[in-house]
Amino acid sequence: MTTIIVETMPKAELLDPQGKAVAGALARLGTSTFASVRIGKRFEIVVDGPVDDAILAEVRTVAEEILSNSVIEDVVGIHVVEAAI
C-alpha cells in the first residue's frame, strides 16, 4: 500500500473567502502574527502495491481534471509517501 498526496490551492489571483474568514477570526482572537491565510485541499490517495510512472501519470491526470477545478484551483504538489499513514 502506497499513499500519494495531492495538494490543491485556490489560484493566487482569486480571493479565498474561507481563508479570509480564518485570517479575520485569528486577528479578532488577538493573534496578529499572521499576514494572510489561504485554504486548499489535501488528498490522500491509497494505491495497492508500488507506484510506477503509469500510476503517477494517472494521478496527475486525475488531479488536474477531477480533484481540482482548474478555473479556480492549482495543483501545487503531488508526492508519494511509501508506507500508508
* Nearer residue to its own copies within complex by CB, 47 or 80: 47
Element (H, E) at 5: strand 2-10
- Least Cα distance to 59 among 71, 73, 46, 49 occurs for 46
Residue 33, SS3? coil
- C-beta of 71: minimal distance to its own copies in Å? 18
- Please name the residues in contact with 67: beta carbons below 8 A apart, sequence gap of 6 or more: 6, 8, 41, 43, 75
| 36 lies in the binding site for its own copies (CB under 8 A) | yes
| 80 lies in the binding site for its own copies (CB under 8 A) | no
| 14 lies in the binding site for its own copies (CB under 8 A) | no
Applying CB under 8 A, the residues found at the interface with its own copies are 1, 7-9, 12, 19, 22, 25-26, 29, 31, 33-48, 55, 58, 62, 66-67, 76, 85
